[in-house]
Amino acid sequence: MITDKDILKKIDEMQEKIIQFHQQIIKIPSENPPGKYKEISEFVSSKFEELGLNTISKRKNVVGTRGGSEHPSLIVYGHMDTVPAYEGWTKAGPFSAEIIEGKIYGRGSCDDKACITAEIFALQALQELNVELEGKLTLLATIDEETGGFNGANYVLDKGLVSGEACLLGDGRGSFPAAYTGGFLFVTFLIKGKKAHALSFPDIPIYRNEFSGVNSIQKMIVVLNFFTQLQAEFLNTETKYPNFPGHPSKVSTVNIAKIEGGEKISTVPDKCLLYCLINTIPEQDVESIRNRILQFIEKAREVDPDLDINVQFTMSFEPFITNITTKFANSVQKAVTSVYREEREFKLFQSANDGHFFHEKGIETILMGTGSHECNVHAADEFVYIKDLLDTTKIFALTIFNYLAKE
């Protein structure tokens, strides 16, 4: 009879194979943008086929399944795309996959190629131990997570290429499972003004004439003040859900991310564009914030009839909470306990991820990623600890075992 200890021992024995594969996948660029995924998609697809999975590739997303029953059914997810390499690497090259002091360096080494490697070798370990699984297991490697997931997780779910009762979403932080996620709203504002000579015809009401300009940057101040006030209000509501270690914020946050406008110091700017990102705690829904913004715009136009403002809600999703008393949640927590030799509570993950696509389809979704803030995710010198890579592989394998193994 196979036990947890057998699976943990097996993955430890596979350490060199896991490291070598992970180095190979890191060396394949899959930056998003530009979003060129052909090589990495073929690489992952060939490995899925080696595992005997019924494998398809659509829009470079790779889906591998075994078994046909919809009950029980489990999806194990990772995304293949990464943010761009960026400059400033000092420890090793972004595609070197160099090992230094127990760390594997490279873009995507942690986010999120570690989870692709983990899902593959989790299943391989179970197969080599001849573990019998019932129901259906799906390994999923998606694209475009870093730009919203619409051609990735959203596409495969909407097209019916992937289905299941539960999803172990390999993304986010490691060491703790996450059953609670925050919401997300990306909003842009465009204010149009009138270009004119700033010195001869200033944008000052008491001195205006038909040649005066309309300063679009000046008019954007009312939007900036609105978001400053909104952030102050958010400070009054702290989440009750526990954060990951090293994540200090307990409130919804407003990030005034980017502003563009103006051409020349002596010219009144006729266009100003503002980008803003709002991340919410589970206690605050995104739709109410969206309505709050629309109400603000309506009132601002009443106060200033000359305000030419346009707002676009580019992308958003609501927070979600997963039931932590189900068989699936128990399978994840039991796996985490076996690996870390202590029970660890479910945490809140506030950053954007593909989990909401699965949740919206009625699929139980729990996040279990790799690494922590110190791994330089989305920055130069990204790395993953070899130990964390192995631990994630173990948690994936044990979750599959706990949820799907024949009793």
Residues of the chain with CATH 3.30.70.360: 183-317
Q: Which fold has domain 4-181+319-404?
A: Aminopeptidase (3.40.630)
Residue 370 φ/ψ, nearest 5 degrees: -135, 140
Cα 219 to Cα 223: distance, rounded to the nearest angstrom: 8
Tens of pLDDT along the chain (407 residues) come to 999 999 999 999 999 999 999 999 999 999 999 999 999 999 999 999 999 999 999 999 999 999 989 899 999 999 999 999 999 999 999 999 999 999 999 999 999 999 999 999 999 999 999 999 999 999 999 999 999 999 999 999 999 999 999 999 999 999 999 999 999 999 999 999 999 998 888 888 888 899 999 999 999 999 999 999 999 999 999 999 999 998 889 999 999 999 999 999 999 999 999 999 999 999 999 999 999 999 999 999 999 988 999 999 999 999 999 999 999 999 999 999 999 999 999 999 988 899 999 999 999 999 999 999 899 999 999 999 999 999 999 999 999 999 999 87
Residues of the chain with CATH 3.40.630.10: 4-181+319-404
Helix (H) or strand (E) holding 184: strand 183-192
Residue 179 φ/ψ, nearest 5 degrees: -115, 0
The DSSP bridge partners found for residue 140 are 63, 77
Burial class of 68 by CB neighbour count within 10 A (0 to 12, 13 to 18, 19+): exposed
Query: SS3 string of 2-62?
Result: CCHHHHHHHHHHCHHHHHHHHHHHHCCCCECCCCCCHHHHHHHHHHHHHCCCEEEEECCEE
Cα 94 to Cα 379: distance, rounded to the nearest angstrom: 10
pTM of the model: 0.94
The DSSP bridge partners found for residue 103 are 100, 385
- What is the residue type of 325? T
Q: How do 347-349 and 320-321 pair as beta strands? A: unpaired
Q: Which fold has domain 183-317?
A: Alpha-Beta Plaits (3.30.70)
Sequence-distant (≥ 6) Cβ neighbours of residue 267 within 8 angstroms: 195, 196, 197, 198, 213
